[in-house]
Amino acid sequence: MSRITPPSTGQNDTTREIMLADAAATQKLGGVLAGLVAPQDVIALWGDLGAGKTSLARAIIQTLLAALGQHEDVPSPTFTLVQTYEADALPIWHADLYRLSDPDELIELGLEEALEAGVLLIEWPDRMEDELPAQRLDIELKEVGEGRLACLTARGVSWEDRIDRAQEQMNQLGA
């Protein structure tokens, strides 16, 4: 059975919660996160079907592309498994691993190339099992009433300050 929640937080992990009242707030969070990503970042998106993982990934990708004057449709990679985008010198990889049945299939996807210099957004990261990078940002999306709760967990030090900035920026935006 698939795990839709991230692993328990460790003593060195930092977590912040951001309430997303509606789809517009999810779009804003994607915009904020797009301003914080850097080469070799991994963002693991956790949550049940329909939790908003693809919407958040789409918002991140479209914001990165729009900053360069590029506008592209960003489909869910459910059937292609991986979609790639070029945002200037920052390759963006969006993987949906829902249909993977074995972590050995990851080799065929070439995700290690994304880890060299790009940003990797992963839906259904549990399919990677032990191959999921330890240094990453986990975002768990949970339905709460009419909205969603985004739990951002910095795994390792590279995201610690950035999730604080994300929370501050979302507060400033009134999202």
Q: What average pLDDT does the segment 6-28 reach?
A: 87
Q: Is residue 41 part of a domain?
A: yes
Assigned domain for 131 exists: yes
Using pLDDT thresholds of 50, 70 and 90, give the confidence band for residue 73: confident
Report, as an integer, the average pLDDT of 154-161.
90
E strands along 21-167, which residues?
42-46, 82-87, 90-96, 119-123, 136-144, 147-155
Tell whether 7 is covered by a domain: no
| CATH code for the domain in which residue 69 is found | 3.40.50.300
The pLDDT value given to residue 157: 86
pLDDT of 3 strictly over 70:
no
Which residue segment(s) compose the domain that 127 sits in? 14-173
Sequence-ordered strand ranges (E) for 35-130: 42-46, 82-87, 90-96, 119-123
Residue 3 falls inside a structural domain: no
0.75 cut: is pTM over it?
yes
**pLDDT tens figures, 82-132:** 899 988 888 999 999 998 888 778 778 878 877 888 999 999 999 888 889
Please tell me the total count of domains within the chain: 1
Tens-place pLDDT, residues 30-47: 999 999 999 999 999 999
Residue 128 lies in a domain: yes
> Is 4 a domain residue?
no
> Does the residue 55 lie in any domain?
yes
User: Is 30 a domain residue?
Assistant: yes
